[in-house]
Every structure is written in C-alpha cells, then in structure tokens.
Amino acid sequence: MSQGYFITGTDTGVGKTLVSCALLHAFSACGKSVVGMKPVAVSCEKGEWSDVERIVIASTIIVPREWMNPYALNLPIAPHIISKQMNVEIDISVIKMAYLELRSVAEVVIIEGVGGFLVPLNDLHDGSDMAQVLDLPVIMVVGMRLGCLNHALLTAQSIRASGLLLVGWVANQIDSQMMSFEENINALKQRLNCPLLGVLPFEQHVNAKKFSTLLDVTQLRAR
C-alpha cells in the first residue's frame, strides 16, 4: 500500500525542497520505492525549475514530467498572479489525478507544497485546499529564525483546522546566527504536539542525501 505525505512550510524559502528530497532519500534507504511531486513550481530563472530537478534526482522511479510537476510557472511570483499572467488556471483536480498516477507506481510519494500553507493558487483555492483534496498527512518544515515560533504555531493551527493530520515537523536552521536556537526548538517541541523528525543544521552547501540521515521517518504514522 502506498504512503503519501504533504510537505508544507512556515514560509517560502524555509527548505521544503531540501526536506522533501531528504525524506525521499530516507525512505529509499529503508528499501522503499519513492517518487516526489512538486504540483506547482515557480522558477528562479526563466525556464529553469531547480526544485523539480532536485526532486527528480532524489526519486527512485522515472515518471512523466507532467505527473511530477503539473504546473511550471516561469517567474518567482505568487502562483495565482503569475498563472494569470501566463493564462494558466491551476486546477486542483488535475493535481490530484497526477498524484494518483504517482501513487500507483511508488510505495512512498512526497508532495511538496508551494510557499506557505495558505498561499493562493487561484481565485478560489489556496495551498490548504490542495492539501485537503489530496487528503494526506502533513509534515511541516520550520525555518528556524527570529519569528519562527509564531509562524510555526499558526501554520500548525491552520493545518489542524483544515481537518488534516500533522504527523511531524522538521527544524531547518536557515539563520546561522539565530540566538537561543535550542530554546526555540524546545518551545516548539512543547507546543506542536507531534514528533520532531529531525534538526537540519545551517550549511552553505546543503546535501539532501547527507541530511536524510538526520531524519527519523520511523516516527511517521501512515494513513
């Protein structure tokens, strides 16, 4: 039976792709066939979607690009804005169909959301609607920097209010100079009421496969 997890973050740029790839490597190391999905990707440079390429490399199964990345948007702008400029309608039902295809060929599917949990996708739907349609347990990436406590607790509250299960979180140290780092970790451990899957240290040149050894996927509960 296939497992799937939806990866969200406390903001954009907090390391969702890094954690998604690390999770793919971690499950692969457990002997699972794995594939990643980036339903909506925005490029940092026109015509290049590096996040998707990283997910392709971390996956153990080759699948059609349109399954892994149904929507590739060509500017780093909020999805609902750039999709309108491109005359593209982000359709959540298309994303779900692509996910079902992936689920049929891999034992574990890791789906990376776009931006934060409530980022708008079109005039009617946001990231939480996509997560609800996929109906998957959620893993939250917390970008450890000043303000992360409020962002993490609000995101967790929103995930649970949407009826989804928050099964774990990952602390990613994106600010090398963050003061009271351990104290902030402990504050979230006390308040999030779900397992801390791992703490990723700050590094200039990150390596998802190396970081995968810092994640304890045995704590995850399949649904």
Q: List, by residue number, the catalytic residues.
A: 38
Residues in the chain: 223
d(CA 16, CA 116): 10
d(CA 78, CA 59): 26
CB 209 within 8 A of CB 59: no
Helices (H), the chain: 16-29, 50-58, 65-68, 79-85, 92-103, 127-134, 148-161, 181-192, 208-211
Q: Please give the structure tokens belonging to residue 21.
A: 């790839």
Other CB atoms closer than 10 Å to residue 67's CB: what's the count? 17
Q: Where are the beta strands (DSSP E) in the chain?
A: 3-9, 34-37, 40-42, 71-73, 108-112, 138-143, 166-172, 196-200
d(CA 58, CA 200): 18
- Three-state DSSP class for 13? coil
Q: Please give the structure tokens belonging to residue 130.
A: 């996509």
